[in-house]
Amino acid sequence: MRALLKSHTVIPGFSLALGFTVLYLAVIVLVPLSGLFFKTATSDWAHIIESISSPRVMAAYRITFICSFIAASVNVVFGLLLAWVLVRYDFYGRKMLDAMVDLPFALPTAVAGIALTALYAPNGWIGKIIEPLGINIAFTPIGITIALIFVGLPFVVRTVQPVLEDFEPEIEEAASSLGASRLTVFCKIMFPHLFPPLLTGFAMAFARALGEYGSVIFIAGNMPMISEIVPLIVIIKLEQYDYTGATAIACVMLIISFFMLLFINLLQRWAAGSRKRY
């Protein structure tokens, strides 16, 4: 029976499919990323160390990672809430709201940056209201975080939403009938199932925020040591024809991002294994 299924499979044999997969990943992913390291290796170590550890670059690292982490954390909370509303409630305009979640995917990031700047600038609709209160959003790390929240929200919603749709409400009703409170039902029954997709959504939103450029460049203000992000530093290096410096900074971001995503994936696998044991 197994041999019959293999002979009638739509996809080619394992060896051929694996070969095409490895070739595709090598051409699309591995070769460009390897080029970063090879280009960086052509420079002397003194220039590399100076490029990746100057005070301006270190400040850009700090701003980029802190704002990305805060934005991804906020998206985990509100992405879960938005996915819950879309799945559990039926109201007028729900389909339109569901479609609007994907708007950051389709909207050019530069357009999003201009729109956010128009809203939160000192003379913008929201900025002119909150500026007299001493709150500045545009041209500060707060504005960067808001832009990263905007581009990362769909990743969390679209990751959690299928899990909520597959979760049977009868399980919650049974727990409630046995005397469990709403908080107990969520923490003990639902959250263990939602934790892996929430981690996945966090990792995707965090990775997206690290490399975001278009929506941040306008609202950030690009002030060195204050609101300058790493992708902008890379662009500046390229405009100065310092290609090895740009690739060195890109390699640092790539290595840090890889290990952070690897840690999150290992944590997700551990959480999935713990849920199976219990």
Residue 5: pLDDT band with limits 50, 70, 90: very low
Amino acid 12: pLDDT: 60
Is it the case that residue 4 has pLDDT exceeding 50? no
Sorted by where each starts, the structural domains of the chain and their CATH numbers stand as 61-277 (1.10.3720.10)
Residue-wise pLDDT for 40-98, tens only, equals 888 788 888 888 889 999 999 999 999 999 999 999 999 999 999 998 888 888 889 88
The token duo for 32 is 């460009």
Amino acid 1: pLDDT: 45
Distance CA 64, CA 203 (A): 15
Residue-wise pLDDT for 199-257, tens only, equals 888 988 998 898 888 888 888 888 888 888 998 899 888 888 888 888 999 888 888 88
Is it the case that residue 186 has pLDDT exceeding 50? yes
Distance CA 8, CA 18 (A): 18
Amino acid 146: pLDDT: 92
| H, E, C per residue of the chain | CHHHHHHCCCCCCHHHHHHHHHHHHHHHHHHHHHHHHHHHHCCCHHHHHHHHHCHHHHHHHHHHHHHHHHHHHHHHHHHHHHHHHHHHCCCCCHHHHHHHHCHHHHCCHHHHHHHHHHHHCCCCCCHHHHHHHCCCCCCCHHHHHHHHHHHHHHHHHHHHHHHHHHCCHHHHHHHHHCCCCHHHHHHHHHHHHHHHHHHHHHHHHHHHHHCCCHHHHHHHCCCCCCCCCHHHHHHHHHHCCCHHHHHHHHHHHHHHHHHHHHHHHHHHHHHHHHHHHC
Q: Can you say how many angstroms the Cα of residue 199 is from the centroid of all Cα atoms in its chain?
A: 11
Q: 210 and 17 in contact (C-beta within 8 Å)?
A: no
Residue-wise pLDDT for 9-45, tens only, equals 555 666 777 778 888 888 888 888 888 888 888 878 8
What is the CB neighbour count within 10 angstroms for residue 75?
A: 29
Distance CA 256, CA 35 (A): 17
Q: Which residues contact residue 150 at a Cβ distance below 8 angstroms, ignoring those fewer than 6 apart?
A: 104, 112, 116, 215
Average pLDDT of the chain to the nearest whole number: 83
Is it the case that residue 187 has pLDDT exceeding 50? yes
Distance CA 213, CA 236 (A): 13
